[in-house]
Amino acid sequence: MTEEEIIINKIAQDKLDLGKGVKWFDELVDDRKKEVIEKLTVFIQQSHPTKDSIESGLDLAPIKPTMTPVIIFRTKELKIALDKIKVLPKDEWNKAFVTMLSVFKVADTKRRETFCKGGCTHEWHNLDS
């Protein structure tokens, strides 16, 4: 797994503080930020969020509900929302990161507590620490 993947999953699993993740993201160069955003759209789809987990994730996101990525999630179907968020301009990237990470965290936690309960072979659910 790449550094990006490990950090995203550690945050989702409460092994790394969201604030630290935001700081890490902030310090990346643009190309890598773009990669992280694209990766998150894939992770969110793989975590199969329900409408409820998307809502809970948005409520949890440390961001104003009037921010663009939140509005996109609330008003569009998941697939369309992710396609739109992926191409947001640079000044929205930080907001896109925290919003998507919060949605992923809720959806992935639900999956770990149900589908993956009792052990699974997902590499990202079996991190060392």
Determine whether 31 is exposed, middle or buried from the number of CB atoms within 10 Å of its CB (0-12, 13-18, 19+): exposed
Q: Which is nearer to Zn ion, 47 or 56 (CB)?
A: 47
Angle at the Cα of 95 from the Cα atoms of 108 and 109, rounded to 5 degrees: 10
Residue 35 Cβ vs Zn ion, minimum distance, rounded to whole Å:
23
Residue 110 Cβ vs Zn ion, minimum distance, rounded to whole Å:
11
> Any idea what DSSP says for residue 102?
H
Total residues interacting with Zn ion, rule: CB under 5 A: 4
Quickly list DSSP for 50-82: -HHHHHHHHHHSSS-TTSHHHHHHHHS-HHHHH
Residues 110-129 that bind Zn ion (CB under 5 A): 116, 120, 122, 125
Q: Which is nearer to Zn ion, 46 or 94 (CB)?
A: 46
Residue 101 Cβ vs Zn ion, minimum distance, rounded to whole Å:
18
Q: Which is nearer to Zn ion, 33 or 110 (CB)?
A: 110
Residue 111 Cβ vs Zn ion, minimum distance, rounded to whole Å:
7
Query: How many beta carbons lie within 10 A of that of residue 45, not counting itself?
Result: 14
Give the interface with Zn ion as residue ranges (CB under 5 A). 116, 120, 122, 125
